[in-house]
Structure 1
Amino acid sequence: MDRAKAIDRRNDDALMRAIGARDSNALREIAEAYGHIPFGISCRMLADPMEAEDIAQEALLRLWNQADRWVEGGPGIAAWLSRVGTNLCIDRIRKTRRQSSEEVPEHRDETPLADAALESDNVKQAIIDCVTGLPERQRASIILTYYEQLSNQLAAENLEMNIKAFESMLFRARGKLKKCVETKGLVKEDVGRICP
């Protein structure tokens, strides 16, 4: 049984009260049960497992520091970490864009590789390029909906949008992603592989 499912959501409030009392064991329990959530979102949005680790740790640190603001009976720790992880990724993407002085090349080198073992790496990189090429909120909508498997309603709440605006943005993101995937000659099955 998945560790996150083992912890009853009603227990979230008790865990947050323990964190508010500075019980490090409660934080450890939350990290073990829910740490994969901000990590998975970050890994897919940033395409960098090292950055994803930093985001996951930052999300947990914020949970620790903001325990006194916890509202009991809310959507729970998983939803909170999902929202914070998504927002941290969007902030990181925006910051990176502002700091980058390099020109982005128009096209990636499409030279075919002779070694079949490298093909899957090529496919993975092409998919990462397509997803990371989306504007940050559209990228978040794809990651939350398809990779994190959140409902449109929960994904919209994570991005602090109403459902109609979210679904419109998701539709545009899917269109851009489809066009990119087709341009790179990928098939639909390849799109599921972004992050280990």
Structure 2
Amino acid sequence: MRAALTAAAAAPEDACLMARIAAGDETAFRHFADRHVGRMLRLAQSILGSAAEADEVAQEALLRVWRHAARWDGARGQPGTWVHTIVARLCVDRLRQRRHEPIDAASEVADPAPSALEALSSRREVLALRAALASLPERQRVALTLFYQEELAGTEAAETLGLNLRAFWSLLERARRALRDQMQRHAGPDGRM
């Protein structure tokens, strides 16, 4: 809820920044990047599971904002939603590429540093959750990440994925069910991880 209120309050300023970026204003671009890069990185890392890849995706997304700011249409959504859409699509593209890469190309190891979630939860539960999320189809994984981790409102998450609101809720429900099923498979007979 807090994130939705913050995004709504930032929208008019972001729209002004986008107009300035479209005109080639580097200061406006730096300010826009500073405002959004943290959420971009969190979203990308949540989807990809790699800090290094998340950084590459965020850089590519910012480059696209700089090059294509004039394409942003305020009537179709907020700048933050547009940026999240770019990040989500770049992540899905990377996930699809992974399926087709030879094993030699999979040399990158995930960041071993524990996250705040790992510090609060048992390691087994976190690993089981990550494995369950990784097993979901890309769109379901992105829907869960946008709604629960990034705390986007349903309408903004739906717009990010290019869906109407009803289709988004349906996708989110399928993702929840699939995640619950995966987690139950990982649970022992006593229901524990």
TM bin, normalised by shorter chain, reads 0.7 to 0.9
- Residue equivalent to 2:155: 153
Deviation at 1:70, TM superposition (A): 2.5
Superposed CA RMSD in Å reads 2.6
Select 2:183's aligned residue among 167, 181, 184.
181
- Residue equivalent to 2:50: 48
Worse overlay, 82-91 or 164-173? 164-173
Worse overlay, 70-79 or 174-183? 70-79
Worse overlay, 31-40 or 64-73? 64-73
Return the alpha-carbon distance in structure 2 between the equivalents of residues 80 and 55 of structure 1: 14
Return the alpha-carbon distance in structure 1 between the equivalents of residues 8 and 144 of structure 2: 27
Unaligned stretches of 5+ residues in structure 1: 103-116, 187-196
Deviation at 1:17, TM superposition (A): 2.2
Q: State the secondary structure of the residue aligned to 2:16.
A: helix
Return the alpha-carbon distance in structure 1 between the equivalents of residues 162 and 53 of structure 2: 23
Give CA deviations for 1:59-88 in whole Å, capped at 9, x if unaligned.
Answer: 111100001223245532211111111111
Deviation at 1:176, TM superposition (A): 1.1
Deviation at 1:22, TM superposition (A): 2.0
Deviation at 1:175, TM superposition (A): 0.9
Return the alpha-carbon distance in structure 1 between the equivalents of residues 23 and 171 of structure 2: 41
| TM-score, normalising length: structure 2 | 0.77
The one-letter amino acid paired with 1:136 is E
Unaligned stretches of 5+ residues in structure 2: 105-118, 189-193
- Residue equivalent to 2:114: none
Return the alpha-carbon distance in structure 2 between the equivalents of residues 70 and 151 of structure 1: 20
Alignment length, in residue pairs? 170
Select 2:168's aligned residue among 151, 166, 187.
166
Q: State the secondary structure of the residue aligned to 2:136.
A: coil
- Residue equivalent to 1:16: 18
Alignment of 1:1-40 (within 5 A): 8-40=10-42
Report the identity percentage. 34
Q: Which has the higher helix share?
A: 2
Q: State the secondary structure of the residue aligned to 2:163.
A: coil
Q: State the secondary structure of the residue aligned to 2:162.
A: coil
